């Protein structure tokens, strides 16, 4: 290709633009995990005893489990005793407004471009900013409350809405589900709870920003979104992390429940620290995201743009229980440097006429390795289930890799399952053509990549689509060969 | 406009151009003819700065600048345009977006403002009609799934929009039906002006009936073995290249 490999790595090796660390006094538990640590977490969050019992059951189950090693991702084994499981930025008591929030914290948000301000209000976005483990700022609660929408931190929800939490938390991802889900269920620190009652269309896009700040602090978010009959909600999630030497573990669980005729759209633009040029210090991202289309004609749509993390292991999934329910998965995953991504989705068809669409776009540059792993399962009673999967890989340079692993299990003869896969390269010819028309190599690559990702970007809420394009441009700057 | 002096170049150690001399003045149209594999596309690629060729000797001066020291996109911004023998497909990249980005990149490099959306649309519609390019193709991905003739028209559209100072057309006439040939030639003639030069690579005298060249050069085995007026093309059409090769060898 155009540039020799060494030179290519040089241009690609852009420093992570958002790698800075905020100096804030933290209330952090010493590293290590045992039942006492779990009790301490629960106590600090003033949880009721039933929650503590749930955590302990999950922990005891986790102890019996093995860390999975079946994915194509390679990473040094994680020392779970070296991680601190609770960290909260110290707040001044009784905050009436943002003016009273730690100015360091606010300036961190500013650097990250997180707008907890009028601009966002105009854009119609409510922000629940999660700083490390505790929610520190929530806006627009009143507008939402008027509509009857609950949008609050998980800790608050556990105290204020115990009945809803007991009913729904863990109903989509039980703690026995997998190793990281069990760990999360035992030690989850905070997260977001959204509840949209019958017939309500949430009046604004909901968004949360995550940020990992404490060294060696695992981040164990827990998100639950419940959309009752005929309700609708769109939730946006975005992440960045500061530069650190040690690998940081992130094991979040996201559960979505859509009842009859409800619609949930969950969008993620993820930009975690991927590690330095040698692959050191990136985020390990093991996430369980699952949506349950419980009601007839319910609709759950996952859209994600992944550019960060050293290791990503993530399969947003849909369980299509309701008749005529619809599951969608649109994904762009970028891996460069030493990044590894093992992502994909699972569509489990149980209801009659359930339909699912999967569009997965993988981009690999430098030594990046990208794997798509998709499961489409059609249960025996899922008459006329339909799936269409389109899985495209784009390679930049000749030392990166892309793998596709489609798993299809069909137990009903009326099902129609289609799988299409393509692999293409950004070719010398294409780059020459663009440059001959006056475009720089970088603009050419970003144009070709945006073209490649268009179907996914189209699914993102407008302002996120713009951010996603920028993010891709930044993260692939110079990734040409 | 352009002066090439004793240019030699090779690919993978194999010498392809063996000493090219060529001078193109502002306003002139030069035709380059020659058998397959003689080095015509190689010359066009070297002029436009394509990677993969090693220039082993000689020099190229374009508008007073040492062309060989400039990056590909800088040459394009300086007004060099290559209509390619095999236009490249860019799946997912909208044809109009590409054209606008390209125009704006060139404008920015010259310190000009970007073109506003309305004037751009007007211009692109008008020029697409001139080269008889189906407007539907403007909304599709660049060249993706275009027929051979459609790709060539699209190249001419780009040329018309970008208004280069030195346009190099590498076999833009190959694979065109007679009407299309006419349209392409019209497109080229519309651009002819005293401050613009063109190098037209072709195998067919027919194109030169529509685009009257000031000079015709015959490139054989990496050398220009004969240059002449437009009547040289007619002679080549009638007699082929062998007599020239024999004369040159003699
Ligand atoms: N990348 C390359 N690798 C090896 N040989 C090459 C390469 N590019 C060109 N050549 C060789 O250089 C010679 C000249 O090729 P070029 O494409 O310039 O010919 P041309 O005159 O344009 O021919 P045509 O009329 O068929 O288009 C040919 O022998 C060709 O095989
Ligand atoms: Mg050629």
Of B73, B91, B98, the CB nearest to A435: B73
Q: Does the beta carbon of B64 lie inside 6 Å of ligand 1?
A: no
Quick one: which of A29, A42, A36, A130 has its CA closest to A82? A29
List CB contacts (< 8 A) between B94 and chain A: 451
Collapsing DSSP states into helix, strand and coil, what is residue A74?
coil
Nearest-10 Cα torsion for A238, A243, A249, A253: -10
Query: DSSP string of B146-193?
Result: --HHHHHHHHHHHHHHH--SEEEEESTTTT--HHHHHHHHHHHHHH--
Among the listed ranges A76-90, A114-128, A209-223, A426-440, which one has the minimum average pLDDT value?
A: A114-128
Q: What is the per-residue pLDDT for A184?
A: 95
Q: Does the beta carbon of B12 lie inside 6 Å of ligand 1?
A: yes
List CB contacts (< 8 A) between A448 and chain B: 90, 92-93
Task: Give how far Cα A279 sits from Cα of A76, A86, A276, A481, Å.
Answer: 12, 26, 5, 20
Can you give the pLDDT of all 250 residues of chain B as single tens digits? 999 999 999 999 999 999 999 999 999 999 999 999 999 999 999 999 999 999 999 999 999 999 999 999 999 999 999 999 999 999 889 999 999 999 999 999 999 999 999 999 999 999 999 999 999 999 999 999 999 999 999 999 999 999 999 999 999 988 888 888 998 899 889 999 999 999 999 998 889 999 999 999 999 999 999 999 999 998 988 888 888 888 877 7
Inter-axis angle of helices A179-187 and A49-63, to 10 degrees? 150
Q: State the smallest CA–CA distance between residue A273 and chain B in angstroms.
A: 29
Task: Give how far Cα A61 sits from Cα of A23, A41, A181, A251, B54, Å.
Answer: 37, 18, 11, 16, 66
The predicted-structure confidence for A149-201, as pLDDT tens digits, reads as follows 998 889 889 999 999 999 999 999 999 999 999 999 999 988 889 999 999 99
Domains of chain B, with CATH numbers?
Answer: 2-249 (3.40.50.300)
Ligand 2: centre distance to CA B4 (Å): 19
Whether residue A400 has pLDDT greater than 90: no
Give me the half-sphere count of Cα atoms (radius 13 Å) on the Cβ side of residue B248.
Answer: 15
What's the ipTM? Answer: 0.96
pLDDT category of residue A88 using cuts at 50, 70 and 90: low
- Across the interface, do A451 and B84 touch by the CB < 8 Å criterion? no
- Across the interface, do B158 and A437 touch by the CB < 8 Å criterion? yes
pTM for the complete prediction? 0.78
From the CA of B16, the nearest ligand is 1
List CB contacts (< 8 A) between B42 and chain A: none
The ligand 1 atom at the shortest distance from the C-alpha of residue B45 is 18
Of B71, B101, B103, the CB nearest to A447: B101
DSSP character for A219?
Answer: B
Quick one: which of B45, B74, B28, B77 has its CA closest to B196? B28
Q: Does the beta carbon of B42 lie inside 6 Å of ligand 1?
A: yes
Q: Which of B50, B108, B159, B163 to mutate to test the interface with A (most CBs of A within 10 A)?
A: B50
Q: Which of B17, B41, B86 to mutate to test the pocket of ligand 1 (most atoms within 8 A of CB)?
A: B41
Among the listed ranges A100-109, A266-275, B228-237, which one has the minimum average pLDDT value?
A: A100-109
Of A428, A441, A451, the CB nearest to B90: A451
């Amino acid at each position: 290709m155009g540039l020799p490999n060494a030179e290519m790595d040089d241009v690609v090796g852009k420093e992570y633009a958002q790698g800075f660390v905020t100096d804030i006094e933290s209330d952090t538990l010493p590293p290590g995990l045992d039942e006492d640590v779990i009790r301490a977490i629960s106590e600090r969050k003033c949880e009721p005893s039933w929650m503590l019992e749930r955590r302990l059951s999950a922990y005891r189950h986790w102890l019996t489990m093995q860390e999975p090693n079946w994915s194509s991702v390679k990473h040094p084994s994680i020392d779970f005793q070296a991680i601190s499981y609770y960290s909260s930025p110290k707040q001044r008591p009784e905050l009436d407004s943002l003016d009273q929030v730690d100015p360091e914290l606010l300036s961190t948000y500013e650097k990250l471009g997180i707008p907890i301000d009028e601009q966002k209000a105009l854009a119609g976005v409510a922000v629940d900013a999660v700083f490390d483990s505790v929610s520190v700022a929530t806006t627009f609660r009143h507008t939402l409350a008027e509509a009857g929408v609950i949008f609050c931190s998980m800790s608050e929800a556990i105290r204020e809405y115990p009945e809803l939490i007991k009913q729904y938390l863990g109903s989509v991802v039980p703690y026995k589900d997998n190793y990281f889900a069990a760990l999360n269920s035992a030690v989850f620190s905070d997260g977001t709870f959204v509840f949209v009652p019958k017939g309500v269309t949430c009046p604004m896009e909901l968004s949360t920003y995550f940020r990992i700040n404490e060294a060696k602090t695992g981040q164990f978010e827990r998100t639950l979104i419940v959309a009752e009959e005929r309700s609708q909600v769109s939730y946006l999630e975005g992440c960045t992390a500061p530069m650190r030497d040690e690998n940081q573990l992130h094991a979040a669980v996201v559960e979505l429940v859509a009842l009859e005729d409800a619609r949930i759209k969950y969008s993620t633009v993820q930009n975690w620290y991927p590690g330095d040029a040698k692959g050191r210090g990136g985020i390990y991202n093991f996430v369980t995201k699952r949506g349950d289309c419980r009601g007839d004609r319910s609709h759950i749509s996952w859209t994600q743009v992944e550019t960060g993390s050293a290791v990503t292991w993530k399969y947003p999934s849909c369980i299509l229980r309701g008749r005529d329910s619809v599951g969608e998965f649109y994904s762009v995953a970028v891996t460069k440097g030493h990044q590894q991504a093992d992502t994909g989705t699972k569509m489990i068809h149980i209801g009659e006429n359930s339909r699912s669409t999967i569009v997965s776009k993988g981009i690999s540059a430098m030594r990046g390795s990208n794997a798509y792993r998709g499961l489409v399962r059609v249960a025996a009673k899922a008459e006329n289930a339909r799936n269409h999967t389109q899985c495209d890989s784009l390679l930049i340079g000749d030392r990166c890799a892309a793998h596709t692993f489609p798993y299809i299990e069909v137990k009903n003869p009326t099902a129609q399952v289609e799988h299409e896969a393509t692999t293409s390269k950004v070719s010398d010819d294409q780059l020459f053509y663009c440059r001959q028309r006056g475009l720089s190599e970088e603009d050419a690559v970003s144009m070709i990549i945006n073209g490649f990702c268009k179907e996914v970007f189209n699914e993102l809420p407008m302002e996120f689509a713009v951010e996603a394009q920028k993010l891709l441009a930044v993260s692939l700057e110079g990734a040409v060969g | 406009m352009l002066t090439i002096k004793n240019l030699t170049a090779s690919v993978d150690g194999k010498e392809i151009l063996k000493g090219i001399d060529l001078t193109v003045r502002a306003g002139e149209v030069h035709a380059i003819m020659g058998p397959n594999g003689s080095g015509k596309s190689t010359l066009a690629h070297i002029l436009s700065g394509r990677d993969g060729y090693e220039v082993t000797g000689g020099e190229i001066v374009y508008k007073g600048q040492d062309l060989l020291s400039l990056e590909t996109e800088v040459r394009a911004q300086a007004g060099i345009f290559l209509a390619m023998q095999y236009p490249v497909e860019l799946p997912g990249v909208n044809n109009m977006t590409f054209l606008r980005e390209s125009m704006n990149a060139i404008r920015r490099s010259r310190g000009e403002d970007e073109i506003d959306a309305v004037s751009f649309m007007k211009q692109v519609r008008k020029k697409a009609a001139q080269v008889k390019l189906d407007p539907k193709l403007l909304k599709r991905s660049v060249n993706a799934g275009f027929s051979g003739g459609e790709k060539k028209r699209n190249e001419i559209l780009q040329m018309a929009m970008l208004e280069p100072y030195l346009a190099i057309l590498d076999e833009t006439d190959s694979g065109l039906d007679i009407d299309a040939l006419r349209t392409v030639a019209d497109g080229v003639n519309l651009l002819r002006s005293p401050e613009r030069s063109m190098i037209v690579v072709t195998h067919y005298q027919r194109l030169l009936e529509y685009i009257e060249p000031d000079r015709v050069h015959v490139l054989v085995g990496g050398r220009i073995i004969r240059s002449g007026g437009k009547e040289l093309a007619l002679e080549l059409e009638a007699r082929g290249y062998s007599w020239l090769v024999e004369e040159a060898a003699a």
